[in-house]
Amino acid sequence: MNRRIVLAAVTAVTLAGTSIAFAQQTRPGFGAAGHRPLLEEIDVAAAQQRIRETAQAIDADADGFITTEEVAAHREQRRAERQAERYAALDSDGDGRVSVEEFQAPRLKAIENADLNGDGVITRGERRAARRGGGEGGDDNG
């Protein structure tokens, strides 16, 4: 049972890493935020190498076995790295601190951009269009 849990966890972590690593192209409105990569092609040898590297990274003590603790530690490390990247991206002036203005700016801009027709109200259609990356949808009130 424990072996199945470890195998499932390793598979999930590996597949997630492989999917992100091999996103060749993204749809308009995606990509910069890391959402929904569109996979055009996956190089098999490169994907296999990524799996090997991920397994080695998870096996922290290099004993040839992956424990649930190692999987959890690897997952936490990746989460912390992503969080640090997001924080650094918010620090627009590069001073190592995120001001209230820096924190608000991308969120306020996203709301402004979602109001496609500029009427001060974001309709369901505009929300859908914003999620798709812009385009039509500003007239849909329902």
In terms of phi and psi (left: phi > 0; alpha: psi -120 to 50; beta: otherwise), the region of 28 is beta
Nearest to 105 by CA among 115, 95, 93, 117: 93
pLDDT of residue 138: 46
Q: Where does the pLDDT of residue 14 fall: very low under 50, low under 70, confident under 90, or very high at 90 and above?
A: low
Lowest mean pLDDT among 22-26, 101-105, 115-119, 135-139: 22-26
Cα(108)–Cα(43) distance, integer angstroms:
39
- DSSP element (H, E) containing 53: helix 44-58
Cα(62)–Cα(72) distance, integer angstroms:
16
Angle of CA points 2, 3, 6, to nearest 5°: 90
CB atoms within 10 A of CB 129: 21
Q: What is the pLDDT of residues 16-59, one digit of tens each?
A: 554 444 444 434 444 444 455 566 788 899 999 999 999 999 99
pLDDT of residue 4: 64
Q: What is the pLDDT of residues 61-102, one digit of tens each?
A: 999 999 999 999 999 999 999 999 999 999 999 999 999 999
Sorted by where each begins, the domain ranges of the chain are 1-90, 94-142
